[in-house]
Structure 1
């Protein structure tokens, strides 16, 4: 049997762990496996097909079962996608006609007639009281029988699965990549890192673990096997305590600390004591998280361990019994006195904080002498700032060139977004340009200089993943702010959800905006046929799972923007349902096919954000008349119930405008800075033969035929492109 961790490797790398087993005549089974994969939009690489063909049939079939299960879940084909209207997108009725039909059927039903008549006499009608509204009126099998078969198209998605190494090597490589990431991981990747750490904690380790959330997850595994902990600050210990209690290692959500066994309590107290003994000034870090430290102290009982007095000091500071002046309070003192030069001098000892305060310092500076001091200090400390922060500030400064008063968007770690007018004073153009030039120079210094660089042009407009929280788990998902081409005449998107306990009603809608972001129309359960599109029908409960679809003929859409959204009308939040995900498909008119065809799915992403209105992406028609997707991964707070596209169109429009008009740093920007001769750069377009020597390849998906020693960067490890 295949190891359960092989599916984790497949999800992250699109590689199959090298199948192991007796040799045999597996060619026929391997071809059948490849054909089955094609039906869900995947295929075996030539190398992998050859490897499977030389194994026994039983090994191939075992590999096929687990692989098909994993890739089906990746694309959303592991569940049944039914539609309310059995032959959607054909024969979708007008909304009023459909409602009238439901009322007529209710009046013809002895059980519902009296209730419906009573409501009608009162002048209002609850659609949910109609027996045929909001619930499937046919089985999944009946829906399939009413649909034509999909006609294959050259434009259908094909994701190639490649041959990997043995399980230990694949797990170690993936662990080193995730643990050593220079950017924070998303929730799913962080959870997978925890699983990998348990397996790999005694093996090779990354040289550094720069992201502290990653360090907490790794420390939890190290603690379990008795390895030394990786601790630099008291906050590292706090994050580890959160991990041990099943809480949030990012410290964004409060953790309810568990009662820990004595060995774990001793390990945490010893860690705190060692950190403060090595550098007493780090007591000041307690002030940032006083409440969590107070609650942790109640669980650790530091008074029972007098041999660790420095640990006791940590909790004394948290309780206010001991003073420890924080760095931030010293900085605030300078800023409140408009002492920019003093603030700069202080911040030189904290380069990352200096970079994050650059905009404020330049706006606070009284004259050019002070602004020069700010810029000079930033240039001087730039080599000591993480690459992620350098790139973030570079992107920020570029967007500061926009006029004051333009919308400013804020997005928290959980995707919650809001917009406000930008009331800040502008940063002087000369100082901004000096900083941008200096930051590009610093970035160029850190980038590698490959002998031969191969580039997939489709990755050039992908936004740099400066945080893993700017994306979600799924297939074909790009970081927030990325753009990608939309090739196809029919756009169909979908939402699937399955409730956990209470009745849950999600509503898929589409808001259409004009070029000035004003509303042109919408599609929803209240508007089933409009603006060149059709809605598959309202489903109001999902005990066994439910799906809603919207299809648009792109050549009939009048507006400039199509904004899909998922509204929670009633029931469980995105984080409470058993499962929920969004995706979109592209088809040509002649393809026909079922409502959900896995090989036409271009993107499928989990819905797990905080908020009751999800905005996964926006489709925009450019001046060249071509449609492109821009990735949002945003959530609106919404209302506790009855969220509808009609009610949130203004706030959605503001969010879309703020993100669409913001320029993101993309892969193109880094490649333009990369110190490699133009003659050694090749764009992989059309018919193309891989070179025989090792290369650096950067693209959406791995290429077949590359030398095994090539350095390959794809969407799955794009974070590796961010310099240290």
Structure 2
């Protein structure tokens, strides 16, 4: 869940060095302030070579700077850096596989199962129970000694695989020269705190670390996302600094942050006992907010149960000097009535006064814009529709940029195929939980929709800065604008939901890793192949280890020390245009409960050999931390010209409480993909089209201009002008206008 409620204790105990945070977020390496003695070049070359094994390298300026340090300084810096980048790509754990020769010598499924039964009958401890199961006609595979448990060590696995053959397509991520740790940390803090899109769970925790470190330094001019403000306020409260509050809900979010709860307020938080100084700070903050604007008491009713529980911890009756704070809890208990904006709006709509409701909502521009579709559907006359459109024109300049983009995205998919009879709507909540339903909405009149689009585009375009010359990586053009980072996990190569990126390579290999915490846990990696109508062609899983398309590495059913599963597909042999990798919870702990879990994919050429997991070939790796029992990170799609693309989903299905299998959810997955894959997105290409006077050049992947430019790409190339503005997936949120 968002906030901090589901960060695992192990991860919280790991020291979060500022240096590691900077590397993970920016791919810049802060270099320690140490005298240059010019003797570290040899160690720097060794570091560069070791980093390359993980798919990273030092930029030329960084290499020169590191090479000028003392050898022992370079060695220690290298150790920390290597540890960080290995965690980024998932190379910090041992990736063993059940079938030691994978992807070679994977047996036929039933023959493998029979072999497990044969071995069990030869086992002195297992033969009797196995024989009894055979008599009953049903054998539990997990009960067989040879099934689901590694039959060899990781070292034995390594000895069976040849070295990876270097290929031109191997990923190389450049680490660039950073400034001092303090400077880099301060800039990263300002960027995360001032982000105009909500951060994901891990980034939110990183913000907390940075906020505590930077609490006495320069602060962002604005913290537009309320969850970010709660994290910053927690740090400020701990340091005795003034709180940043302008609504009563800011205080409630801060209380949730202090309890390690959900600062988004979507999940209930168990409030902790608060010290007197903290209680005084919260009540004083509440009193100041309400005294300055009593109308803000209307926000209390939205979370009145949480307020009542918080009141039991704050004891406002003990502090008569803050009477306005006491009113908050009186409203929550129903002792004081305060009309809410939502209630007044619904009353007008119940009377059929659509124009009056629209005008009332101009005082809350974000609410009005999110309600505009409903208001237009309720409008019965052209006059009422004109009144709604006029209200939108009045409110749009006051609305947040993210709201404008969200409504624009809604309109991009409104009024066409999705609104025809029998069509399906796809719903995705902020945590990535997805479901489908019949679409019963009437279409918006084309002229009305076009006018709304015109108003929004003009407002968005007017807020975009003049970028000057723009150099854009063609692979970034179809990347979706990141309107929220909440359901997008951290990692490497991760793109926002709806993004489309090219896939170049002969062999596509998925991987998943998990480590159980307290309970035996079995995750299953599977791949579903679908045809043009989203119907099943085949699948690969523990129930089908091999097919024309590829091979499964074998089922692992417990992970006390961590476990990995892999699927390799030869893309030229895939018989359908869609490949859907899935990670399914079969038994045990959920994605939110395990000690660690992640998913990723690699691309290889046919003759590269190597271990099952080779960090240089990893194109994407992300944490699995969603609320469902079936994870759908992305889907691979083949276009009409035979080229493959990754379409990013970041979705979780509810699934069954136990024993989820790919064969049993194929109908749900097919219906979901039918509604989401063809859905249009607001992309980098779309945004560039709105920029007035932008001089856009598509990058050739090699040369970079000597003058300052705005570079938009998957990774920062070497040689850019020092004053160039660089936008990569790690900071693409910066394009969202204020």
TM-score (norm 1): 0.98
The structural deviation recorded for 1:163 is: 0.4
- Aligned 8 A contact 1:19 1:52 in 2: no
Could you tell me how far apart the structure 2 residues matched to 1:110 and 1:687 are? 64
Mapped contact 1:522–1:531 kept (Cα < 8 A): no
Q: 1:450 Cα deviation (Å)?
A: 2.2
Partner of 2:157: 143
Match of 2:662 among 645, 652, 656: 645
> In the alignment, is the contact (CA less than 8 A) between 1:523 and 1:531 conserved in 2?
no
Once the 2 structures are TM-superposed, how far is the Cα of residue 131 of structure 1 from its aligned partner?
A: 0.8
Q: 1:107 aligns with which of 121, 132, 145?
A: 121
1:561 and 2:578 are equivalent in the alignment: yes
2:107 alignment partner in structure 1: 93
Instruction: Please name the residue that 1:573 is paired with.
Output: 590
Pair 1:617 & 2:634 matched: yes
Question: Which segments of 5 or more consecutive residues in structure 2 lack a partner in the other structure?
Answer: 1-14
Q: Does 1:687 align with 2:702?
A: yes
2:655 aligned counterpart, secondary structure: coil
Alignment-derived partner of residue 76 in structure 1:
90
Q: What is the match of residue 599 of structure 2?
A: 582
Q: Distance in 2 between matches of 1:449 and 1:359?
A: 32
1:697 and 1:532 map into 2 onto residues whose CA distance is 38
Counterpart of 1:169?
183
Structure 2 CA distance, aligned partners of 1:304 and 1:701? 56
Note the alpha carbon deviations across 1:504-555, whole angstroms, 9 max, x for none. Answer: 0000001111111111111100000124111000000000110000000011
SS at structure 1 position matched to 2:730? helix
1:501 corresponding residue in structure 2? 518
Q: Is the 8 A contact 2:255 2:271 kept in 1?
A: yes
Contact 1:48 1:163 in 2 (8 A): yes
Matched, 1:7 2:24: no
Contact 2:704-2:720 at 8 Å conserved across structures:
no
**Aligned position for 1:182:** 196
Name the structure 2 match of 1:345: 359
In structure 2, how many angstroms separate the alpha carbons of the residues matched to 1:90 and 1:10? Answer: 37
The answer to whether 1:243 aligns with 2:243 is no
- Structure 2 counterpart SS, 1:656: helix
Deviates more, 1:171-180 or 1:345-354: 345-354
Is 1:261 the counterpart of 2:275? The answer is yes
* 8 Å CA contact retained: 2:31, 2:66: no
Which residue is 1:21 aligned to?
A: 34
User: Helix, strand or coil for the counterpart of 2:616?
Assistant: helix
Contact 1:444–1:675 at 8 Å: present in 2 too?
yes
For residue 435 of structure 2, give the secondary structure of its aligned residue in structure 1: strand
Which position in structure 1 is the counterpart of 2:288? 274
What is the 5 A alignment of 1:662-677?
Answer: 662-677=679-694
CA deviation map 1:478-518 (0-9, x unaligned): 01110100000110001000001110000000111111111
Contact 1:470–1:479, Cα closer than 8 Å, also in 2: no
SS where residue 76 of structure 2 aligns? helix
1:62 counterpart SS class: helix
- Report how far residue 402 of structure 1 moved: 2.2
For structure 1, which segment, 648-657 or 185-194, has the greater mean C-alpha deviation from structure 2 after superposition? 648-657
Matching of residue 399 in structure 1 with residue 413 in structure 2: yes
Asked if the contact 2:32–2:181 (Cα under 8 Å) also holds between the matched residues in 1, the reply is no
SS at match of 1:715: coil
Change (3 A) 1:531 1:408: farther
Deviations 1:118-165 (Å, cap 9, x if unpaired)?
Answer: 100111000011110000111111111111211110001010000000
Correspondence for 1:549: 566
CA–CA separation in structure 2 for the residues paired with 1:564 and 1:3 = 32
2:78, 2:570 → 1: CA distance? 37
**Structure 1 residue 3: deviation in Å?**
9.0
Distance in 2 separating the partners of 1:646 and 1:531: 17
Q: Give the aligned partner of residue 531 of structure 2.
A: 514
Indicate yes or no: 2:332 matched with 1:315.
no
Give the C-alpha shift of residue 676 in structure 1.
2.4
Cα distance in 2, alignment partners of residues 56 and 427 from structure 1:
68
Preserved CA contact (<8 Å) 2:521 2:558: yes
Encode CA deviations 1:355-380: one digit per residue, 9 max, x unaligned: 00010011110022211211122122
SS at match of 1:224: helix
Indicate if the aligned counterparts of 2:415 and 2:445 stay in contact, CA closer than 8 A. Answer: no
* Aligned residues of 1:505 and 1:541 also touching (Cα < 8 A): yes
Q: Over residues 665-715 of structure 1, what are the superposed CA-to-partner deviations in whole Å (9 max), with x where a residue is unaligned?
A: 1111111111124xx322211431331x32222211112122222222111
Determine helix, strand or coil for the equivalent of 1:581: strand
Q: Counterparts of 1:637 and 1:686 in 2: how far apart (Å)?
A: 42
Residues of 2 paired with 1:176 and 1:648: CA distance?
Answer: 43
Deviation at 1:18, TM superposition (A): 2.0
* Cα offsets for 1:174-219 (capped at 9, x unmatched): 0000000111111111110000000111111111111011111111
Distance in 2 (CA, whole Å) between partners of 1:413 and 1:212 is 15
Match of 1:592 among 574, 593, 609: 609
User: 620, 644, 648: which is aligned to 1:603?
Assistant: 620
Residues 333-392 of structure 1: per-residue CA shift (max 9 Å, x gap): 112222111111101111111100010011110022211211122122211111101011
**2:516 touches 2:560 (CA, 8 Å); kept in 1?**
yes
Residues 210-236 of structure 1 deviation map (CA, whole Å, 9 limit, x = unaligned) = 101111111111112222111111100
SS in 2 for 1:529: coil
Cα deviation, residue 19, structure 1: 3.0
Q: What SS does the corresponding residue of 2:88 show, helix, strand or coil? A: helix
2:3 is aligned to none
* Superposition CA RMSD, Å: 1.1
Partner of 2:389: 375
Secondary structure of 1:425's aligned partner: coil
Per-residue CA distance 1:614-642 (angstroms, 9 max, x = gap)? 11100001111101000111111111110
Partner of 1:538: 555
- Superposed counterparts of 1:463-478, under 5 Å: 463-478=480-495
1:222 maps to 2:270 = no
Structure 2 equivalent of residue 54 of structure 1: 68
The one of 636, 661, 677 aligned to 2:678: 661
Distance in 2, matches of 1:281 and 1:682, equals 51
- Comparing 372-381 with 32-41, greater Cα deviation is found at 372-381
Q: What's the secondary structure of 1:257's corresponding residue?
A: coil
CA–CA distance in structure 2, aligned partners of residues 402 and 424 of structure 1 = 11
**Conserved 8 A contact 2:503-2:645:** yes
